Amino acid sequence: MSATTKKILVVNSKGGCGKTTIATNLAVAFANQGVKVSLLDCDKQASCSHWAEERGAQAPKVNTVASYHSADKLTAQIEQELNQHTDVIVMDATGSHTDTALFEAALKDSELVLIPMLASSLDIKAGERFIADLMTHRVMRATPKPIGVIYNRAQSTSANQQRLEDLLRCLDVPVIAELRDLSVYAKAAEIGAGIMEMRENAAASNEYAAWRDIMLWIDRRTANRRELPRPIQAGRKVSRTDQNQSRVS
Ligand SMILES: Nc1ncnc2c1ncn2[C@@H]1O[C@H](COP(=O)(O)OP(=O)(O)OP(=O)(O)O)[C@@H](O)[C@H]1O
Ligand SMILES: [Mg+2]
């Protein structure tokens, strides 16, 4: 069993918000760091599995597994990955029904949750409901885990973005990165790649800073879990980081 495997759940109830795009790009980013990564396809649409069929044999390996058949199968698969010392498990899941056994198993076996969100008014309403469902879910209450929102197809000037930021501030959920609306994401998906592998594309290269933010957030959050809690010095103001650490530890 590996105690150091990172287990990342990418989920939202809203269709088309970028779950598969983010899960596949994340898996590719890790694979290109030379670590052993598995992408568990927990959505019956099987988009990750279709993506993997297009992935070239020469590309850094992303072990993609159809894990959407049942909760038991998903749990068994995760156990197998841990036994095989997989470094990173990325799960692509739909959160349209948070009361299903499959959703529960994915949540239970993850250590942090990434929520892609678009900033249309319908996406914001659905996202608010989803985050509330997630935060009050019995698995989350029993084993709290960090949640980070990835603002996808960002339009920095839109009024909706301001609404989204206000909402997330109220819920105390951070936006960890903003991804631009770029056709290179669709191009990468068509060939079973991630934008990290399209270095010749200027738009893709300009997006790498956002992906570094995502990787850094994941590293910090998974490292926190393994660190002993640090005592807070008397008189020092409790920072947001300290608060978040104590919440997830
Ligand atoms: N940042 C982006 N820029 C441009 N296109 C994007 C971006 N993110 C996602 N897309 C495109 O939006 C569409 C939906 O994305 P994706 O399939 O990742 O969403 P999803 O949440 O997995 O959807 P579903 O609910 O159907 O599983 C795809 O065509 C994808 O290429
Ligand atoms: Mg999908």
- Give 88-115 pLDDT, tens digit per residue: 999 999 988 888 999 999 999 999 999 9
Q: How far apart are alpha carbons 21 and 12 in whole angstroms? A: 13
- Give 128-157 pLDDT, tens digit per residue: 999 999 999 999 999 999 999 999 999 767
Distance in Å, CA 235 to ligand 2 centroid:
47
For ligand 1, which residues put their CB under 6 angstroms from it?
15-21, 43, 45, 47, 152-153, 179, 181-182, 185-186, 189
Do 107 and 113 contact (CB within 8 A), yes or no? Answer: yes
CB-based contacts of 163-167 (< 8 A; 24+ apart in sequence): 163/119, 163/121, 163/124, 164/117, 164/119, 164/124, 164/127, 167/124, 167/127, 167/128
Residue from 17, 97, 185 to probe ligand 1 pocket by mutation (most atoms less than 8 Å from CB): 185
In this structure, the residue with its CA closest to atom 8 of ligand 1 is 18
Distance in Å, CA 142 to ligand 2 centroid:
27
Is the per-residue pLDDT at 43 higher than 50? Answer: yes
- pLDDT score, position 63: 98
The residues facing 38 across adjacent strands are 63, 89
Number of neighbouring beta carbons within 10 Å of residue 247? 11
pTM above threshold 0.75: yes
- Give 18-42 pLDDT, tens digit per residue: 999 999 999 999 999 999 999 999 9
Q: How far apart are alpha carbons 55 and 69 in whole angstroms? A: 23
CB-based contacts of 200-209 (< 8 A; 24+ apart in sequence): 206/180, 207/179, 207/180, 207/182
Task: Please report which confidence band the pLDDT of residue 225 belongs to, taking 50, 70 and 90 as the band edges.
Answer: low
To the nearest 10°, the Cα dihedral for 172, 131, 21, 240?
10
Q: Please name the residues in contact with 49: beta carbons below 8 A apart, sequence gap of 6 or more.
A: 41, 64, 66
- pLDDT score, position 248: 35
- Give 174-207 pLDDT, tens digit per residue: 999 999 999 999 999 999 999 999 999 999 999 9
Distance in Å, CA 15 to ligand 2 centroid:
7
Place of tokens 């909760």: 71
Distance in Å, CA 19 to ligand 1 centroid:
7
Looking at 87-207, list the stretches that DSSP marks H as alpha helix, in order from N- to C-terminal side: 101-108, 121-135, 138-142, 159-171, 183-190, 202-206
Nearest one of 79, 90, 80, 81 to 28, comparing CA atoms: 90
Q: How far apart are alpha carbons 84 and 32 in whole angstroms? A: 19
Domain ranges of the chain: 6-224
Task: Please report which confidence band the pLDDT of residue 242 belongs to, taking 50, 70 and 90 as the band edges.
Answer: very low
Distance in Å, CA 233 to ligand 1 centroid:
45
Residue from 10, 19, 21 to probe ligand 1 pocket by mutation (most atoms less than 8 Å from CB): 21
Task: Please report which confidence band the pLDDT of residue 47 belongs to, taking 50, 70 and 90 as the band edges.
Answer: very high
- pLDDT score, position 244: 42
Is the per-residue pLDDT at 71 higher than 60? Answer: yes
The number of the ligand nearest the C-alpha atom of 48 reads: 2
**Atom of ligand 1 minimally distant from the CA of 179:** 1
In this structure, the residue with its CA closest to atom 25 of ligand 1 is 15
Q: Are strands 147-151 and 175-178 parallel, antiparallel or unpaired?
A: parallel
In this structure, the residue with its CA closest to atom 28 of ligand 1 is 186
Angle at 29 between CA 26 and CA 35, to 5 degrees: 110
Do 209 and 107 contact (CB within 8 A), yes or no? Answer: no
Task: Please report which confidence band the pLDDT of residue 66 belongs to, taking 50, 70 and 90 as the band edges.
Answer: very high
Ligand 2 ion local residues (Cβ < 5 A): 19-20, 47
Please determine, looking at this structure, whether the domain spanning 6-224 carries the CATH number 2.40.10.340.
no
- pLDDT score, position 159: 84
